[in-house]
Structure 1
Amino acid sequence: MNITTGRFSSTQVLEGDAILAAIEQSLAMIEFDTEGKVLWANDNFAKVMEYEATEMAGLMHHQFCTKEFVNSPEYLTLWNDLKSGRPFQEKILRVTKNSRLRSFEATYTPVFNKEGQVQAVLKIATDITERENATIKVTNELQLMAEHLLKRAEDGVSSSYQIASAIDKVVKESDDNMQGLQILEHKADTVRKTTKAIREIASQTNLLALNAAIEAAHAGEYGLGFNVVASEVRKLAKQTELAAKEVNSNLEGIAAQVVEVTKGIKRVQTVISDSQLRTGQAVDEFMSIGQAALQLDNQAKVLGDLL
């Protein structure tokens, strides 16, 4: 470098042939005429395509392409554009001598003569087969993972719905039991009222029997038979009152049990209500997972299509 001018001297400027030689050593290169016939290829390109460099001259471009590409409108467009002087740069798929597929990042550059006409096409390529294969493998694994995740999410949603359905049945049965207990409590209350009425009747009957005994005593020997009847009536009234008390006691016990069962059912209903809420949240979570898995699956498919 010239210190006084701050510029590179002419002796340090690289010549075009030297630059081309450096590129040729590191990249795969091949040159075609405007009809697609190979003019020459370097060792890098020949090696990747499983040829010897000396045997590639005279081969046609379409021999390195898949039949699908050669028979497509895109192939004709490619060469028409190149003949018109338009370069082409893209990721491509090519077929080796032994019919193996290789992936390249390639640039086709038209070469012009002094008159500005295209006389040849230079192709510079980088072999990306291993990278593409690794990417495809990761994409396929990603898609399988997404499909598996989606299936698990769908199973989770289905199971959650089954749990929710079972909980709904329990809720219905619990509501039916509550209604049954309410009916039982109502009937017990009715029986208590009836028992109370019986006790009152028994009390009145006992009072009447007592009055009858007093009157029989006043009647002397004429009231002896009536006194016997009054005595039996008092016994019957007493038994009725005792029976009524026993029934009432049993009813109170039933009522206490109904209250406890009702409390238990209400606690169960609280637990069920909480379970319904949590099941609903689980369904929402599974749905979110399913949507994320579906989105992941779609993205994997899009990536696969791009490859």
Structure 2
Amino acid sequence: MISTKRTIGSSSQVLDVNSVLAAIEQSLAMIEFDTNGNVLWANEKFAAAMGYDTSEMSGLKHQQFCTTEFVNSEEYEVFWNNLRSGRTFQEKVLRVTKDKRFLWLEATYTSVYDNDGHIQGIIKVATDITARENAISQLTNELQHMAEGILERAEDGISTAHEVTSSTEQVVQETDKNMKVLELLEQKAELVGNLIIKIRKIADYTNLLAINAAIESARAKEYGRGFKVVADEVRKLAKQTEETTREVNSNLESIASQVAEVVQGMKHSQTIIVDGQTRIHKAVDQFKGIGTAADQLDKQAKTLGDVL
């Protein structure tokens, strides 16, 4: 009888190997293969997990529990060559049940030696981790879906922001053009104002000449009556010019005041637009940051799925 020994304090306790194996068999799925992959024995847990009765297990082949892709791959041949050479295999594996369901197992394959040191078979101990793998797969898919959604929204946000930026730039350009037109209008209004000043001076001078002419006509008495009529008409003309000049100047001042208000308003609008452009550029940068984060989340979700 083979036994294992462990020490507790100053005493020792001997455990029967058959009792240990029985305890393991009750808690874990176990199956035995010969070196050609034929099933020699399987406990109830393994058979039930794979959808078989224990009586059906003997004589089945290992490849019946594997996917077609794995069986036909070079990896499968390497897998069995390693087991036949005494290497232990411990990894998460995908297997196929009797009713063609996929089952994930945390499996350990270990070679069993006879008394002469030759490998007489392979024992596999496994734990069904399908529920865990399905949960991880669902979580991974949800994370990837979430990342794709965030990335899509970020890209939409960037696209919209670029469109707004383009429209804003057009508004800025149009505003600049209008500003130049208004500035030119201000210059023209200033020139007209200068002309009005000159006209007013001419009117004043004409009025002065009319007064002098009236004085001279009075001195000439009856000989200056005709000259007096001309002087009166010139005075009237000067007065009309003065009144018209004042009216034009008043309207011009009103126009200049309105132009100044428009210019001030457009400058304020331009400031707001430029500030809006700055904010949009910041928003674009933030959207790009979200896109990068979403891409990293997608990669991490895929890595999580690969690792777990």
The answer to whether the superposition gives a TM-score over 0.5 is yes
- The letter of the residue matching 2:283 is A
For 1:14, what is the secondary structure of its paired residue?
strand
Residue 141 of structure 1: aligned partner: 142
Residue 10 of structure 2: aligned partner: 7
Deviation at 1:279, TM superposition (A): 1.1
For 1:125, what is the secondary structure of its paired residue?
strand
Deviation at 1:6, TM superposition (A): 3.6
Deviation at 1:301, TM superposition (A): 2.9
For 1:239, what is the secondary structure of its paired residue?
helix
Counterpart-to-counterpart distance in 2, 1:158 and 1:274 = 19
Deviation at 1:139, TM superposition (A): 0.9
Counterpart-to-counterpart distance in 1, 2:130 and 2:182 = 77
- 1:123-202 equivalences under 5 Å are 123-202=124-203
Counterpart-to-counterpart distance in 1, 2:46 and 2:36 = 20
- Are 1:300 and 2:298 matched, yes or no? no
- The letter of the residue matching 1:184 is L
Residue 82 of structure 1: aligned partner: 83
Counterpart-to-counterpart distance in 2, 1:230 and 1:201 = 16
Q: Per-residue CA shift, 1:46-91, capped at 9, x if unaligned?
A: 0001111121111111111111101000110011111111111111
Deviation at 1:305, TM superposition (A): 4.5
Residue 264 of structure 2: aligned partner: 263
Of the structure 1 ranges 38-47 and 242-251, higher mean CA displacement relative to structure 2 is found in 242-251
Of the structure 1 ranges 79-88 and 208-217, higher mean CA displacement relative to structure 2 is found in 208-217
For 1:85, what is the secondary structure of its paired residue?
coil
Counterpart-to-counterpart distance in 1, 2:262 and 2:80 = 89
Flag the 1:142–1:6 CA change in 2: closer, same or farther, 3 A: closer
- 1:16-165 equivalences under 5 Å are 16-165=17-166
Counterpart-to-counterpart distance in 2, 1:195 and 1:245 = 8
For 2:11, what is the secondary structure of its paired residue?
coil
Counterpart-to-counterpart distance in 2, 1:218 and 1:26 = 144
Residue 206 of structure 1: aligned partner: 207
Residue 234 of structure 2: aligned partner: 233
Q: Per-residue CA shift, 1:222-265, capped at 9, x if unaligned?
A: 22111111110111011101111111111111122222222212
Deviation at 1:306, TM superposition (A): 4.8
* Structure 2 unaligned spans of 5+: 1-7
Aligned length: 301
Using the aligned pairs only, state the percent identity: 60
Counterpart-to-counterpart distance in 1, 2:302 and 2:18 = 46
* Structure 1 unaligned spans of 5+: none
Counterpart-to-counterpart distance in 2, 1:252 and 1:134 = 79
Counterpart-to-counterpart distance in 1, 2:215 and 2:98 = 136
Counterpart-to-counterpart distance in 1, 2:66 and 2:262 = 82
- The letter of the residue matching 1:8 is S
Residue 4 of structure 2: aligned partner: none
Counterpart-to-counterpart distance in 1, 2:305 and 2:106 = 17
For 2:127, what is the secondary structure of its paired residue?
strand
For 2:18, what is the secondary structure of its paired residue?
helix
- The letter of the residue matching 2:224 is G
Of the structure 1 ranges 71-80 and 154-163, higher mean CA displacement relative to structure 2 is found in 154-163
For 1:98, what is the secondary structure of its paired residue?
coil
Counterpart-to-counterpart distance in 2, 1:287 and 1:294 = 10
TM-score using structure 2 length: 0.94
